[in-house]
Structure formats: C-alpha cells, structure tokens
Amino acid sequence: MSTGTLLAIIIPVIVVIALVAAAAFLFMRRRHLRERFGPEYERTVEGADNRLAAERELSARERRHDSLDIKPLPSSVRERYARDWTSVQDEFVDRPNDAVHDADRLVTSLMHERGYPTGEFEQRMKDLSVEHGRTLEHYRAAHEIDTLSAQHKATTEQLRGAMVHYRELFDELLSDGGQSRHARA
C-alpha cells in the first residue's frame, strides 16, 4: 500500500477514536456531576446558556470546594448545636419570626464551624451544592421565607415550613451528611 492510502485509512480511524474518547469523557463527566450534585445539576443546566457551560460551572464549584477545609465536628460541638437547635424550635411557639431568623443564623454558624465560607448567600449555595445538593432546595426555600419574614410578609404556616426546611440542612450539616473530603480519605 502506498503512503497516501495508509494515511487515508489511519487518519479517519484516529479521528473516530478521538471522537469516541471525547464522547466517553463527556458522558462520564456528566454522570459524575449528576450523581454528585443531584437536583442541583438540573437546576444549574436550566439556568445556563447550555449544558457545557453549566457543567463547567459545576466543575468549578467542585474545585473551589476541594480547596476549602471542610471538617467534621467533634461530638461536643455537635451536642451544643443540637441544644441550640432545640432552643430555636422552642422559641418558635412565642416568636416565630425571631425563631426563623435565629434558625438561619444557626445554620450559617454551623456552616462556618464546618469550614464553609459564609459570605454572600449565592456563594454559600454554590459551596453547599457540592456535598449537599439534595438538601439545597430546603435551604433555598427557607431563605426565601426568612426574607419574607424580615419584610413582615410571611404567614405562620410559611414560617413553620421554613423551620422544617432549615432543619433538613441543619441535620445534614450536623451529622456530616455529605462527609468532608478528609473523612472520606
């Protein structure tokens, strides 16, 4: 066979192999991100210009999260937070607005204690999405109700719902649900 014929056979084969490898890589990355982020994967895809941009965003969240020092809590600290949560729940009976604000502050404090940055809400959501994507919607809903509450526009039933939502994320953070990368190693 001539060199031209060999090249005509080899080049398309190499191109096909490269395309199959690229498709396999994208498929594996997509599957990994879906498993890792849960419902937050679809939410991010819906909010992005395209799936590739959303997946780049989620990968960037993973890289940022991996640079954080997320750590499990000592049992004495977990017990203190559990007592604090009980106090916040007890407060709900007489002062539901205050209890919801206190629940938000307690969740934020717990995040900080675990090693999450606690600045802007949207960044907190992104940081939490890596390990807590399945409970993130609870945090989002609770925060919206807390905002309504600050404007005196939340009903008692909404406030009760906010407490339930905060409790979901609180319990997961407290029990190390989603585990820190150091605990998995």
DSSP string, 103-123: HHHHHHHHHHHHT---SSHHH
pLDDT in tens, 150-185: 999 999 999 999 999 999 999 999 987 544 433 333
Query: For residue 5, what pLDDT band results from cuts at 50, 70 and 90?
Result: confident
Q: How far is CA 151 from CA 13, 20, 145, 166, 184, in A?
A: 64, 55, 10, 19, 42
Across residues 124-148, what is the average pLDDT? 93
As a whole number, the mean pLDDT across the chain is 90
Does the pLDDT of residue 144 top 80, yes or no?
yes
Per-residue confidence (pLDDT) for residue 3, from 0 to 100: 86
Across residues 45-74, what is the average pLDDT? 92
Per-residue confidence (pLDDT) for residue 179, from 0 to 100: 46
pTM over 0.85: no
